[in-house]
Amino acid sequence: MQLRGLASTKLARPAVKLTRPAFPYDKTVRISLWVSVAVVAALFGWGAWQRRWIADDGLIVLRTVRNLLAGNGPVFNQGERVEANTSTIWTYLLYVLSWVAEPMRLEYVALAAALVLSVLGVAFLMLGTGRLYAPSLRGRQAIMLPAGALVYIAVPPARDFATSGLESGLVLAYLGLLWWMLVCWSQALRARPDSRAFIGTLAFVAGCSVLVRPELALIGGGALVMMLIAARTWRRRLLIVAAGGFLPVAYQIFRMGYYALLVPGTALAKDAAGDKWSQGWTYLLNFNGPYWLWVPVVLLVPLGVVLMLARRRPSYIRPTLAPGYGRVARAVQSPPAVVGFMLVSGLLQALYWIRQGGDFMHGRVLLAPLFCLLAPVAVIPVMIPDGKDFSRRTGYWVLGGVTALWLAVAGWSLWAANSSGMGDDATHVSYAGIVDERRFYAQATGHAHPLTAADYLDYPRMAAILVAIDNTPEGALLLPSGNYTQWDLVPMIPPGSAPGIPPDQKPQHAVFFTNLGMVGMNVGLDVKVIDQIGLANPLAAHTERLKHGRIGHDKNLFPDWVIADGPWVKWYPGVPGYLDPQWVAQAEAALQCPETRAVLNSVRAPLTLRRFVSNVLHSYAFTKYRIDRVPLFELARCGLPVPDVPPAPPRGD
C-alpha cells in the first residue's frame, strides 16, 4: 500500500528509483567463476588451434575483402554487384582488421579474428550465467563450475568452426554478449544497468543481429520486443527503436539499391524461403549420432531444475515504481523471462535450420542453437549447505546430486571431445550430402591445416587454373574437365569480329567452378570467378531450386549459359564437344528476355543515383524473379522465338 501511494503522488519520479545491492560476488564465487572461465577459454582456444583451418567458404569472404581493399566495392567480381557473403558485419570487420594489420595475410587475419571471437563468446556466455546466479548466492558459500560451456567446447564441430574463416566465431561472440547484456538488463530493478546509455547500447546490439546472420533476427528482434514491452516511457521506446533499427534499416536500403535484392545473395542462391524438413531431420541425426548429444540434455535438464528449486530468492529493497510500470513489464524484465527467451530462441533457431534442410557441413548451423540452449547452465553453482534454507542433511543430498550430475557431464565432455566424429564417412559425399569439411579439405589438399589460398593449390584442378591462364594471354573461359590436371578452354571472340564485341576488347579470363573461395583467392581480381550454384553468379541465383539437389548446392546452371553470357566463342570447334551449340544459341536468345535483362542490368550497369533508386523500387520483384535453367523452356516462358541454328558438321575422332 505504501508503494502504491508513493507511485500515485506528485512527488513520484518518472523512472524507477534503484537501489544497488552488493552485486559483486562473494569471494569464493567470484574466484571460482573466473577460474572456470579461464580454464574453459584456454581449453577451447587450445582445442580450436589444434584443428585450425580456413574453409573454402571462408576464402569467399576474403575475395570480397580483397575487392574492398582494392577500391572495387563490396563485390566478388569487378563490375558485378553480387553479395556473396551472408554476414555483413563479418565482411566489414575483416576489411577493417586487414587494413589495420597490413601487410599480414588476409587468411591469418581471419584465423586470428575468428579464434579470438569464439573464445570471447564462450567467456561472455559463462559470465552472463554467473551473473544470473549472483543475486541468490550472496551470503552463501558456493563454487561456480563450468557445465554447459564444457558441453559446447567438447563437440568437435564447435572447435572446427572456431576458426574456419567463417562468421561462426562472430556469432558466438554476439550471442554471448547479448546473453550477458540481457541478464544485466533483467536485473535492472535491483542494480544500475537501466541507464539510457545501457539501454541504447543493448538495443543497438540486438538490432545488429540481422547483420551478423539474417536468421539471428529472430533473437535480436525478440530482445527488442521485450525491451519495448518493459520500457516505462515513450522516450525510452523511441530510444530503443532508433538505436536498434537505424543500422539494419540503413544497410537494408543500401542492399536494395546496391545489390537490387531484399536478402543477401547467399539467401537467394539457397532459396532460404523454401523448406526441406526430411533433409533437416537427417542433418539433426547426423549431428547427434557421433556424440550422443541427448546424454548432456538428460543430465543438464534435471541439473537446472535442482538449481532452480535450491536457489534463494535475492533480498533487496523493492524499488519505488513509476506510474504505469505494471506487472507485465516487471515480468518481462526479469531473469526468468530472459532465461525462457534464450531457450525459446535456441529452439526456434534449431527449427529454422531443420526446416531449411540443415547444411552440407557437419554440425555447423546447429552450433548456434546449441549455444543458446546451453546458456542458462553454462556454469552452475555448487552450494555448500548452511542449514538456512533447509536442513544440512537435505543440503548434503542436494550437493551430492548436483556433484554427481556435474561429474557425469564432465565425463561425457571428455568422451565427446575425443570422438572420431563421422568416422569413415567424414570425407565421403553420400546421398545426404553432409561431410566433415575440415577433414575433407585436409585430405583433398594433403595439408593437415589448410590455412592459406596457396595451400589449396594442392586441391584437384587448382594449380592447373594458373597454368591455363598463363597459356591463354588472349583470354579464355575455363570449364572443368574430367582430367584434374587440365581445364577445357573456350576462347574469346576476336575483338571486332562479331556484333557486341568492340575492336578494343581487352583479353578476359573467367573460371566456372563450384569452389569459389580457393579459385578466387588464387587468381587476380581481373579474373571473373563464377559458379553454377549462384553464390557469385546472378543467373544461377535466379534459377529454381532443385528438389533433390545436395543441400546448399541445390542450384545448377548449365555451362551453356556462361558461354552465351560472355564474349566467348559460341560455335564449334571453340565450344567443347560435350556441349550443344544449339543450347548455347538458345541461351543467348533467352538472355534477351526483358525481365532477365532488367535483373542483370540492375547489378551490371553503372551505379548512378537513378539506378540506385530504381533498384530499391524493383528489389522485391528482382528477388522473386526466377528463370528456367533449360534454355528452350526459358524461351517458351518468355514468349521468345527459338533461334534457327544449323547442326554442327560431323567431326572425326
Question: Rounded to the nearest 5 degrees, what angle is found at the Cα of 473, between the Cα atoms of 471 and 479?
Answer: 60
The predicted pLDDT at position 17 comes to 41
The predicted pLDDT at position 652 comes to 47
Q: Which residues, in sequence order, are CB contacts of 205 under 8 Å at separation 6+?
A: 174, 177, 178, 181, 220
Query: Cβ atoms within 10 A of the Cβ of 311, count?
Result: 16
**DSSP conformation class of 547:** T
Tens digits of residue pLDDT in 56-88: 999 999 999 999 999 999 999 999 999 999 999
Pair type for strands 528-530 and 509-512: parallel
**C-alpha cell read off for 140:** 552463501
| Residue ranges per structural domain of the chain | 27-312+325-424
94 within 8 A of 276, measured Cβ to Cβ: no
The predicted pLDDT at position 283 comes to 93
The predicted pLDDT at position 425 comes to 78
Tens digits of residue pLDDT in 242-276: 999 999 999 999 999 999 999 999 889 887 667 88
Strand ranges inside 392-513, DSSP E: 476-480, 487-491, 509-512
The predicted pLDDT at position 494 comes to 85
The predicted pLDDT at position 275 comes to 80
The predicted pLDDT at position 82 comes to 95
Which residue ranges in the chain fall short of pLDDT 50? Answer: 1-23, 190-191, 193, 315-323, 652-653
**DSSP conformation class of 364:** G
The predicted pLDDT at position 642 comes to 92
In 289-359, which ranges are continuous DSSP H helix? 294-310, 327-332, 335-356
SS3 percent helix, strand, coil of the chain, rounded to 5, is: 55, 5, 40
